[in-house]
Amino acid sequence: MIVLNIVISLFVIVLLQFAGMYVFSLMTPYRDMEEINKGNVAVGITMGGKFVATAIVLAIAAYSNSSIWHMSLWFAVGYVCLLATYWVFDWLTPGVKLSDQLKDGNVAVGTLLAAVYIGIALAISSLII
């Protein structure tokens, strides 16, 4: 029974991680994987930051909840905060259109945005605990 619970939990965690990455990819007007295949380092760095940030929120949600349902619920709450981070950050930087800068390969913007995602994920996670 314990093995079955572990397998189910692992499946749900992987599913939530990739679902989260899919939703993140819908937020940009370009296709993330196409840009990465073209060698766009800025998009690659940002996508890496999204992946790590999503994993942080998911890890804390899994660690601090004993049921898959509660874990998924807290992940959803944290994840909505991560999604809002992009829009708020874009709004707070009116002179810089994030999606255009990333598509143009601006590594500085990509690195900054990845760090913002990871920082917000750590802050959000402290609230989930």
Question: What pLDDT digit, counting tens, does each position of 30-57 carry?
Answer: 999 999 999 999 999 999 999 999 999 9
The pTM (predicted TM-score) of the whole model is 0.89
Question: What pLDDT digit, counting tens, does each position of 72-101 carry?
Answer: 999 999 999 999 988 898 899 888 889 999
Among 20, 88, 74, residue whose Cα is nearest residue 52: 20
Contact 60, 129 (CB under 8 A): yes
